[in-house]
Amino acid sequence: KFDISSNDFKTSHHTAQIPGLINVQTFFNNLSKTKVDEAQDFTALTKGAIAGGFTISSLMPIGDECVLSNSSELQKTHNNCHGKAYCDYILNALATPTNIDEISNIVSDTTSLLIPLNEKDPITLKDKMAEIIKFLNDWPSSFPVVADAKNADLAAFMFLADLQDRAIHITNVTTEQDISLIAMSKEKGLKVTCDVNVYNLFLSNADFDSKYLSSPSDVEALWNHIEVIDCFSVGATPFYVAKENGHESTSAGIEEALPLLLTAVNDGRLTLDDIVNRLYHNPRRIFEIPEQANTYVEIELDRKIDVVKDSFETSSLVWSALEGKTLYGHVHRTVIRGQTVYLDGAFFPEAVKGRDLSAIVNIT
């Protein structure tokens, strides 16, 4: 059994070795699209992942072309992902108002179920209490049912889960109200966990007038509830902030996540343990993710990056939401199953093939 506390990373001067990180909410905008152009494909996304220190991407079907709700969409998703990945990945299914009877066809090829409850979602189960209850009841209890619910829909979702004493995970928490409600629910003993997109800890709508970023006071509240946050995630926020500014990049935000967090370590706001807990131990525990043998990331904790447009290997070369910021932290090398897949800007596509872990997870 893998244990991080003293052995996971060996500090030498300002470098460290940490476990391969897990992005519990990976946004792949073209997940089940029929035709995907090369710049926006799964290879581009997973290159960003390994350059960012992530060795497992858990794909949450949130977004317009990002549906995985039946066998045909599973087939298309497989076509888009199999053999194209630089890192391992996990598929998660999408609940819709109409697929309750079809979902059994894809349950063994997916891990968790996402119930879309956010008003921004193109498909939503908002106000469909009976359907939500049925999904919560039907989905294998070994995996949490995930929702992107906010406000009253968050309280409602936690209520329905609590009626069944069922584990749930709230993804992309962004506001003081929602993190406070989750804090209270945890105190009451509910089986609820949550993640916060890294961008939402470091950018507010004072930086960009974006509907995906929160107010500065919400950002502050998220930091004040850092112990309530089980996982950090990349999520869709960087993609949509870039898109709002006229730039599309499948891997937007993935490489930036760890440097942003390591900058908080440099600032004394987080410890490296805080990060490893939220990007490795908690994700593994919550989503029952198996160990990747001989998989780790070498980082430099305090290497300075003055962010310009092309500071990161795979993100947009023409625009960065972080331009002008000074970050500390650098991914030096990413190793999967004993093979170096990334080293200082160089990718080694033949070194290892990313695997779909969904079936393995399901067997565990």
The site for a copy of itself (CB under 8 A) is made up of 126-127, 129-130, 151-160, 162-163, 177, 180-181, 184-185, 188
Question: Of 108 and 245, which CB lies nearer to Zn ion in the complex structure?
Answer: 108
Phi and psi, residue 106, nearest 5°: -115, 0
Establish if 353 lies at the interface with Zn ion (CB under 5 A): no
3-class DSSP state for residue 58?
strand
Question: Of 159 and 206, which CB lies nearer to a copy of itself in the complex structure?
Answer: 159
Selection from 260, 268, 315 nearest residue 44 by Cα: 315
Query: What sign does the dihedral 3-340-52-48 (CA atoms) show?
Result: negative
The binder of Zn ion chosen from 64, 285, 344, 346 (CB under 5 A): 344
Backbone φ/ψ region at 189: left (φ over 0), alpha (ψ -120 to 50), beta: left
Establish if 215 lies at the interface with Zn ion (CB under 5 A): no
Establish if 186 lies at the interface with Zn ion (CB under 5 A): no
Binders of Zn ion in range 124-183 (CB under 5 A): 180, 183
| Least CB distance to a copy of itself at residue 66 (A) | 23
Helix (H) or strand (E) holding 72: helix 71-81
Selection from 63, 69, 70 nearest residue 28 by Cα: 63
| Least CB distance to a copy of itself at residue 194 (A) | 15
The binder of Zn ion chosen from 78, 128, 284, 309 (CB under 5 A): 78
Question: Of 74 and 236, which CB lies nearer to Zn ion in the complex structure?
Answer: 74
The binder of Zn ion chosen from 102, 244, 302, 337 (CB under 5 A): 302
Which of Zn ion, a copy of itself, none has residue 80 at its interface (CB below 5 to 8 Å by kind)? none
Cβ contact 75:32 at 8 Å: no
Phi and psi, residue 321, nearest 5°: -65, -20
Establish if 332 lies at the interface with Zn ion (CB under 5 A): yes
Cβ contact 171:24 at 8 Å: yes
Instruction: Give me the half-sphere count of Cα atoms (radius 13 Å) on the Cβ side of residue 342.
Output: 29
Cβ contact 172:231 at 8 Å: no
Task: Build a one-symbol-per-residue string for 18-57: x at contacts with Zn ion by CB under 5 A, - elsewhere.
Answer: ----------------------------------------
Question: Of 104 and 159, which CB lies nearer to a copy of itself in the complex structure?
Answer: 159
Cβ contact 284:238 at 8 Å: no
Which of Zn ion, a copy of itself, none has residue 188 at its interface (CB below 5 to 8 Å by kind)? a copy of itself
Establish if 362 lies at the interface with Zn ion (CB under 5 A): no
| Structure tokens, 95 | 């609940």
Cβ-proximal residue to Zn ion, closest one:
78
Establish if 360 lies at the interface with Zn ion (CB under 5 A): no
Which of a copy of itself, Zn ion, none has residue 226 at its interface (CB below 5 to 8 Å by kind)? none
Question: Of 181 and 301, which CB lies nearer to a copy of itself in the complex structure?
Answer: 181
Which of a copy of itself, Zn ion, none has residue 183 at its interface (CB below 5 to 8 Å by kind)? Zn ion
Contacts of 250 (CB under 8 A, 6+ apart): 28, 29, 30, 39, 40, 41, 44, 45, 48, 239
Contacts of 107 (CB under 8 A, 6+ apart): 93, 139, 140
| Least CB distance to Zn ion at residue 81 (A) | 8
Establish if 359 lies at the interface with Zn ion (CB under 5 A): no
| Structure tokens, 49 | 């992942």
| Structure tokens, 275 | 């990060």
Task: Build a one-symbol-per-residue string for 244-283: x at contacts with Zn ion by CB under 5 A, - elsewhere.
Answer: ----------------------------------------
Q: What is the CA radius of gyration of the chain?
A: 19
| Least CB distance to a copy of itself at residue 130 (A) | 6
Region binding Zn ion by CB under 5 A among candidate stretches 6-14, 15-23, 111-119, 153-161 = 6-14
Cβ contact 297:21 at 8 Å: yes
| Least CB distance to Zn ion at residue 202 (A) | 20
Cβ contact 239:253 at 8 Å: yes
List of residues contacting Zn ion (CB under 5 A):
14, 78, 180, 183, 302, 332, 344
